[in-house]
Amino acid sequence: SYVLTQPPSVSVAPGKTARITCGGNNIGSKSVHWYQQKPGQAPVLVIYYDSDRPSGIPERFSGSNSGNTATLTISRVEAGDEADYYCQVWDSSIVVFGGGTKLTVL
């Protein structure tokens, strides 16, 4: 089955740019979706179709996908962005989630 690999943690200072990667075999040929989950809350969709933002999600959130790596980029990071982030694909009629990345704002 298809595997998505995320770094367990990423740290960034406020105001800087955070990049969270999601690795998979030829993931650039698939569509990747990203979720933000804060403690005690349900996940929230922040990026779909590699780089589209749902309404209400700040422009600071962007996504890209090429080759074997998809990337969620958060610009001008704020304390409120501290959360777990998960990537997801739909592959061979199966939903696959990455293991998640904890974003820490220093």
Q: Which residues bind another protein (CB under 8 A)?
A: 1, 31, 33, 35, 37, 42-45, 48-49, 54, 84, 86, 88, 90, 93-100
DSSP 8-state code for residue 77: -
**Beta carbon of residue 51, minimum distance to another protein (angstroms, whole number):** 13
Reading phi first (left if > 0) and then psi (alpha if -120 to 50, else beta), residue 28 is in alpha
Question: 79 vs 95, which CB is nearer to another protein?
Answer: 95
Which is closer to another protein, CB of 60 or CB of 96?
96
Biggest CA–CA distance in the chain, Å, is 39
- Beta carbon of residue 44, minimum distance to another protein (angstroms, whole number): 7
- d(CA 69, CA 50) in angstroms, rounded, equals 11
The CB-of-97 to another protein minimum distance in angstroms stands at 5
CA–CA distances in Å: residue 104 to residues 13, 66, 73, 101: 8, 25, 14, 9
Smallest separation, CB 26 to another protein (Å): 16
